[in-house]
Amino acid sequence: MTPPVFATQIQCPKCGLQLDRTYWNQSQLQPCQHCQTNLRLLVFPAAMEPPPLAPANPNAMPGEATCFNHANRQAHVPCAACGRFLCAVCDLEFRGEHWCPSCLKQQSDAQTSPLFQRSRMRWDSLALLLATLPAFLVYPTVLTAPVALFLSIRHWKEDPGFLPRTRIRRYLALIFSATQILCWIALFGFLIFSFSKIFPRRLR
């Protein structure tokens, strides 16, 4: 028996003709019936399998926990925020946690958790910017280098957010800003020492 075909929208990349299963996973090139372009289609087995069915959600038996929103359905998991029992229909899995629709909407609207923030300040990028661009003018680094160093240390353990992000910017900002501060300290120390040699009595 031929399995049901779900990936039926495979087309010839040149003429756009829809290709049937006779072109799938052939050992040799097959010419397109319309434009005669030689093709070889490698299709994964998942394209010929039916999509997974939704999890079963039987009615609750007497004495079993029921869903908060559906009193006749068996409880599946508790909500990670409010603790209400949820059936498989109400269960919304987000980053490994199970949420009910109302709590997920409240967290998304409030944006109190880093997981639900739509925008956020990238302090590591700002610190790196303050530690690099003013260095071309030299003199502004007297003010920008301490600020960059403070931002790097202050937000060192900050959650990177939803998208993966390394700490390379924080390391670079910390190194550049600390180097600039040490250079200014060395420069001021050298100037004070030089003036003390030139004007020894005025500095006493």
* Residues 58-117 pLDDT 10s: 676 777 788 888 888 888 888 888 888 888 888 888 777 888 888 888 877 766 666 666
Of the candidates 33, 50, 67, which is a domain's last residue?
50
Question: Domain check: are 132 and 114 in the same one?
Answer: no
Question: Domain check: are 130 and 189 in the same one?
Answer: yes
Residue 181 belongs to some domain of the structure: yes
* Encoded tokens for 199: 């004007």
What is the Cα gyration radius of the chain? 32
Of the candidates 69, 101, 119, which is a domain's last residue?
119
Instruction: Say if CB 163 and CB 119 are below 8 A apart.
Output: no
Write the pLDDT tens digit of every residue in 137-161. Answer: 888 999 999 999 999 888 888 766 6
Helix, strand or coil, per DSSP, at residue 62: coil
Question: Domain check: are 190 and 130 in the same one?
Answer: yes
Question: Domain check: are 143 and 192 in the same one?
Answer: yes
> Averaged over 119-130, what is the pLDDT?
85
Question: Domain check: are 46 and 62 in the same one?
Answer: no
The share of the chain scoring above pLDDT 70, in percent, equals: 76
pLDDT at 185: 92
d(C-alpha 105, C-alpha 107), whole Å: 5
Residue 203 belongs to some domain of the structure: no
pTM: 0.45
How many domains is the chain built from?
3
* Beta-sheet strands, E only, within 118-157: none
Question: Domain check: are 140 and 113 in the same one?
Answer: no
Question: Domain check: are 127 and 112 in the same one?
Answer: no
Comparing C-alpha atoms, which of 160, 133, 158 is closest to residue 144? Answer: 133
Of the candidates 94, 119, 144, which is a domain's last residue?
119
Residue 52 has pLDDT above 70, yes or no: no
Question: Domain check: are 67 and 103 in the same one?
Answer: yes
Question: Domain check: are 37 and 103 in the same one?
Answer: no
Which H or E run includes 196? helix 168-198
Compute CA distances 19 → 3, 49, 112, whole Å: 17, 18, 50
Residue 139 belongs to some domain of the structure: yes
Q: What is the extent of the structural domain holding 171? A: 123-198
d(C-alpha 200, C-alpha 188), whole Å: 17
pLDDT at 27: 76
Residue 114 belongs to some domain of the structure: yes
Question: Domain check: are 73 and 115 in the same one?
Answer: yes
Averaged pLDDT score across all residues of the chain = 78
* Encoded tokens for 189: 């120390």
